[in-house]
Amino acid sequence: MQTLEAARNAFRLPDVRRKLLYTLFILLVYQFATHIAVPGVNRVALATLINGSGAGLINVLNLLSGGAVSRFSVIAMGVYPYITAQIILQLLTGVIPQLEAISREPGGQDKLNQYTYYLSIPMALLQAVGQVNILQGLSNQSGGGVVLPGYGSDFMVTASVLITMTAGTMFAIWLGELITEQGIGNGLSLIIFTGIVSQVPQRLGLLLSGPYALYDIVAFIILILVVVIAIVLIQEGTRRIPVEYGKRVRGRKQYGGGKTHIPLKVNSAGMIPLIFAQAIVTFPAIIAGIFFPGTPFGQSLQTTFGSQSGFWYWLFEFILVVGFTFFYTDVMIQNQNLADNLQKQAGFIPGIRPGKRTQDYITAVTRRITIVGAVFLGLVAILPGIMVIIDFIFTGTLDTSANTNPAQIITGAGLIIVVGVVIDTMRQLEAQLVMRNYEGFMH
C-alpha cells in the first residue's frame, strides 16, 4: 500500500511526473531504434545464424543491446563501447599519475567523462569491425553473409556499415545522458535494463513451447525468487568499520570527537567483473573476426568461443569473474585513499595506527569480505551452466540450447543489472518525494 501511495504521489507532482514521462519517452525511442537495421542486412541469413551456430554468442552480445544484435540494428553494440571505455579509464587513472592528478582537480571528473566519450568512438569502431566479421564468418558457414556482398572489398559499403554502427552507439549513449540529466535514474543503466526486460516475453514464449514447459516455468520462477533475494542481500550487504575523530579544544570550546563508520560493501565491484570476464572469453572470437575472417582458423575460434557452453567454458568464466572481482575491488580501494582522507580529517580506526597501517587494515578487511562477493558473482556468471546440470538431473536430457534453459531468459548478469537499476531508480525517486515532504518507496 505504501508503494502504491508513493507511486500516486510521484504522478501528482508535475515536475516528477514530467521526469518520469520524459524517461519513458527516451526509452521508447531507444527501443524503436533497435528495430532499425544496418543497411543491406540479409534477414534470412541472420535468422539462420540466430537459430544455428551463432546462438550462444548472439545471446551474450544481446545482453547490453536489448536484442539489437539479433536484428542487426544500427545500435547493435548498445552502450557497451562506452562502458568498456569507462572501465579502461578507471583502471588507467590508478596507473597513470597525470590522470590521477586530473581526477583530484576541481572539475577533473568532468574532464575524465569527456575523455571517456572520446575513447568510446574508436572502441565502437573497433567493436563494429569485430562484431560484423564474427557474424559474417559464422553466417558464411551457414551459406550466406548477413551484410551486403561488398563488405570487406568495397570501401564505401564497408565504411557505411561501420560508420552507421558507430553513430548508432553514440546515439544510444546520448539518449542515456538525456535521461540522466532530465529524467529519473541513471540513463545508461536504464537503457541496458530496458533492453534486458524487453527480451523476456519472447524468451518465455520459446520456453513454453519446449517439451518440459511446466517444469521449465516452475524452475524459472524459483530461480528468479532465489537469485533476486541473494542479489539484494549481497549487493546491499556491508561491513561497517568504526571510525572516531579526535577532539580539538579552542579556547573554552571543544570540537570534533564524533563517531561514525566506513561502510565496506560485500560486492564493491558491482557487475564490472562479469563484463571483464565476458570480454576476455569472447576476445578470441573478436580477434578472429578482425584478423582472420573467413579462414578455417578464424572460424574454429569463433565456433569454440562463440558457443558459450561446455564445462571448460564455464570453469574459465568462473575463474575469470572471481579473479577480476578481487582485482577491481583492490583498484577501487587504492583509488579512494581512505586512510589519507581519514588522517586529513583527524579520523582514525580504534586500535589501528593512522597512515599505512590503516590502509593495510582496510585492504585486508575488504579482501576477506570480497571472497563472498567474488564467489557469488562467479556462480551468477555460470548460472546457465548450473541450470543445464539441474535439467539433466530432473529430465534426463542434456540440452545446452539457450531457448530451453530457464536461466537464459534473464541471465545472472542481467538479473544483477535489473535489480541494481530498480533499487537505484527507486532511491532517486524517493529522494525527489522526500524533498517535497512525501513518504518514499523504501521507508
User: What pLDDT digit, counting tens, does each position of 175-211 carry?
Assistant: 988 998 888 888 887 887 887 777 777 777 767 776 6
- Whether residue 101 has pLDDT greater than 60: yes
- Whether residue 114 has pLDDT greater than 70: yes
Domains defined for the chain, CATH in brackets: 1-198 (1.10.3370.10), 211-410 (1.10.3370.10)
The span from the CA of 103 to the CA of 97, in Å, is 10
pLDDT-based confidence at 68, cuts 50/70/90?
Answer: confident
Phi-psi label, residue 351: left if phi above 0, alpha if psi -120 to 50, beta otherwise:
left
Cell numbers standing for residue 80: 557497451
Cell numbers standing for residue 325: 572481482
The dihedral built from the CA positions of residue 349, 355, 361 and 366, taken in this order, carries a sign that is positive
Cell numbers standing for residue 47: 535468422
Looking at residue 290, what is its pLDDT? 61
- Whether residue 399 has pLDDT greater than 60: no
The dihedral built from the CA positions of residue 224, 227, 230 and 232, taken in this order, carries a sign that is negative
The average pLDDT across 241-261 equals 68
- Evaluate whether 123 touches 81 at the Cβ level (below 8 Å): yes
The average pLDDT across 408-415 equals 68
Residues in the chain: 443
Greater confidence (207 vs 256) lies with 207
- Whether residue 142 has pLDDT greater than 60: no
- Evaluate whether 113 touches 85 at the Cβ level (below 8 Å): no
Give 3-state DSSP helix, strand, coil % of the chain, rounded to 5. Answer: 70, 5, 25
Q: How many CB atoms lie within 10 A of CB 311?
A: 10
Looking at residue 25, what is its pLDDT? 92
Looking at residue 346, what is its pLDDT? 73
Amino acid residing at 111 = K
Greater confidence (169 vs 384) lies with 169
Three state DSSP letters for 374-414? HHHHHHHHCHHHHHHHHHHHHHCCCCCCHHHCHHHCCCHHH
- Whether residue 443 has pLDDT greater than 70: no
The average pLDDT across 433-437 equals 67
Looking at residue 171, what is its pLDDT? 92
The average pLDDT across 59-66 equals 62
Looking at residue 212, what is its pLDDT? 67
Looking at residue 132, what is its pLDDT? 79
38-42, 187-191, 253-257: least confidently modelled range: 253-257
pLDDT-based confidence at 92, cuts 50/70/90?
Answer: confident
Highest mean predicted confidence (pLDDT) among 19-28, 69-78, 302-311: 19-28
Looking at residue 422, what is its pLDDT? 79
Greater confidence (141 vs 100) lies with 100
- Whether residue 403 has pLDDT greater than 60: no
pLDDT-based confidence at 439, cuts 50/70/90?
Answer: low
Looking at residue 358, what is its pLDDT? 83
Q: What is the pTM of this model?
A: 0.74
Looking at residue 167, what is its pLDDT? 92
Task: Report the chain's mean pLDDT, rounded to a whole number.
Answer: 75
- Whether residue 33 has pLDDT greater than 80: yes
Backbone dihedral angles phi then psi of residue 256, each to the nearest 5 degrees: 75, -155
Q: Which helix (H) or strand (E) holds 348?
A: strand 347-348
